[in-house]
Copies of this chain bind each other. A is one copy, B any other.
Amino acid sequence: MNTSHLSSPNKLERRLAPLLDLLQKQSVVQSVTHRQQQNRADVIENLLQRQQQAAIQREVDKLKSPDIAHLLEMITSDKRHIIWRLLSHEVAGEVLIELNEAIAESLIEMTLPDTLLPILETLDTDELSDIAELLPQDLLNRAKASLKANERNWLEQTMSFAEGSVGDIMSRDCLIVTETISINEAIELVRSNTELPPQTDKLFIVNNLRHISGVLPLINLLRNPVHSQIEQCMDKDVVTFSPTDQAEEAGQAFERYDLISAPVVDSKGRIIGRLTVESIMDYLRERAENQALAKEGLSADSDLFGPIIDGAKERWPWLCINLITAFIATRSISLFENTIQQLVALATLMPIVASVGGNTGNQTAALVIRGLASKQVHRDNITFIYRKELIIGLMNGLLWGTLLGLFAWLLYQNTMLGLVMMMAVTINLILAAFIGITVPFTLDRLNKDPAMGSSVVLTFVTDSMGFFLFLGLASLVLI
């Protein structure tokens, strides 16, 4: 058997290797050409470069569009442009919608509108709505002009839904039939439909008022008697979404009920779009990445291979907040400079108290953030969680505080210093648990991302209080 048509996606890296090699050489050739511009060897260099281009083109042609998008995400921006320019309109369009937003945006920026327009015209309404917000307004208007009136309306409608809502990620195409036709007629409809929406696993069934009344999985189209009416065979227990639902919650429903597609309906039950597992997966992955980066104050669109200056600037807001909070936190130290002068050991031990608090608080926060995301934590059980985490803070505080106290006592032969250490650690751990719940829970109540910035606020409190408690207790007890 010839298995060459079987593609094993884990071999993607191996398939990309020859192309990456060529790109490596390409840049060498270019830099050589640059140095010897006045030289006779120009012609040969030129030829060599053109040969390279052709070889690159051949390799690119072997790849599917999503693989080209992946390739573009792993190379530097100068090489991205070499590949980008080689793509046909059709392929460039497919690549554009697969790309990470930051990279898509940079490619759009550096491409002339007149080159971009024919690329955009290869996209359907759903695809265009995916990248619409990355396009300059005038270009978007020109691209819209090539759409039919109803498509244009739909595009404007979806663009009006909030980011992260079901309306924002739903697609337009769905297969809708009325409940009064027979299985046979429905099969005929599927057969005659020239372009079926991707990931169609079921038909959406509507009644004579065009309200949703059921769904029929494709497989049941095959398994029911051909003359029976759709109404008798359809599944009436339908999971539907409203365009204003949160995409996050829709994702949980897709997981819970193992959905592949589901209708999006308005308040009257009229179908206005379709949600697919594909867009849900895209959304959930982006969100997961987003949250991990947001915790460190970065946006999900950060381009690891983009310009250095952008990378540096992107860190500024967070760095600035961090500097301010660190500065304020250390102000509590300056209150006790006298105490420190009398017992320098305090300066050595105080960062430990702060660090243990930060660590514990972040653990609690991570648990609460996950609980909030999966809807396990809510208003009714938050007191239970407070009680539990505060008791854990107390227990761990006493246990590890005693241990640290013993260490401090042994190290500096000072019993009172050990006691101060123990008390400061215990109180700071309880405080850390309290803040670790309060910050994400409050952010969630305010409809903000509970992960965003929680670690900054938390570290600020545990640092300030760590220093203040330890030095304050020391100046009361020791000096």
Residue A396 at the chain B interface, CB threshold 8 Å = yes
Partner of A340, one of B10, B219, B340, B362: B340
Cα A240 to Cα B6 in complex, Å, equals 7
Give Cα A366–Cα B212 distance, bound, in whole angstroms: 44
Q: Is the CB of A351 within 8 A of B366?
A: no
B355 touches A222 (CB 8 A): no
Contact of A392 among B64, B256, B308, B333 (CB under 8 A): B308
User: Could you tell me the distance between the alpha carbons of A337 and B340 in the complex, rounded to whole angstroms?
Assistant: 10
A289 is an interface residue with CB less than 8 A from chain B: yes
Q: Which of A41-49, A51-59, A293-301 contacts B (4 or more CB under 8 A)?
A: A293-301
Q: Is the CB of A348 within 8 A of B334?
A: yes
When the two chains form their complex, are residues B257 and A366 in contact, meaning their CB atoms are under 8 A apart? no
Residues of B within 8 A of A245 (CB): 8, 10
Q: Which of B7, B378, B467 contacts A239 (CB 8 A)?
A: B7
Report the bound CA distance from A292 to B354 in whole Å. 22
Secondary structure at the A interface, as helix, strand, loop or mixed, is helix
Asked if residues B348 and A380 are in contact (CB atoms below 8 Å), the reply is: no
Stretch at the interface among A111-119, A156-164, A198-206: A198-206
Give 1 or 0 for each of A204-226: 1 = CB within 8 Å of chain B CB.
Answer: 00010101110000110111000
A297 to B20, CA, bound (A): 37
CB of A194 to closest CB in B, whole Å:
10
What is the minimal beta-carbon distance from A253 to any residue of chain B, in angstroms? 3
Decide if A326 touches B355 in the complex (CB within 8 Å): yes
Please tell me how many copies of the chain the complex holds.
2
Evaluate contact between A199 and B302: CB separation under 8 angstroms: no
* Interface residue tally for chain A (C-beta within 8 Å): 143
28 A-B contacts (beta carbon < 8 Å):
A3-B211, A8-B242, A9-B253, A10-B242, A13-B375, A20-B380, A70-B375, A73-B376, A75-B381, A198-B258, A255-B281, A255-B285, A260-B277, A277-B277, A284-B284, A284-B285, A291-B292, A293-B367, A302-B367, A304-B367, A304-B368, A304-B377, A311-B388, A312-B396, A322-B355, A326-B356, A333-B347, A337-B344
Given contacts A74-B377, A319-B359, 5 further A-B contacts (CB under 8 A): A5-B236, A10-B241, A293-B367, A315-B363, A329-B351
Q: Which residues of chain A have a CB within 8 Å of any CB of chain B?
A: 1, 3, 5-10, 12-13, 20, 24, 64, 66-67, 70, 73-76, 98, 187, 190-191, 196, 198-201, 207, 209, 211-213, 218-219, 221-223, 236-242, 245-246, 249-250, 252-258, 260, 269, 277-278, 280-282, 284-285, 288-289, 291-293, 295-298, 302, 304-305, 308, 311-312, 315-316, 318-320, 322-323, 326-327, 329-331, 333-334, 337-338, 340-341, 344-345, 347-352, 354-356, 359-360, 362-363, 365-371, 374-378, 380-381, 384-385, 388-389, 391-392, 395-396, 400, 403-404, 407, 459, 463, 467
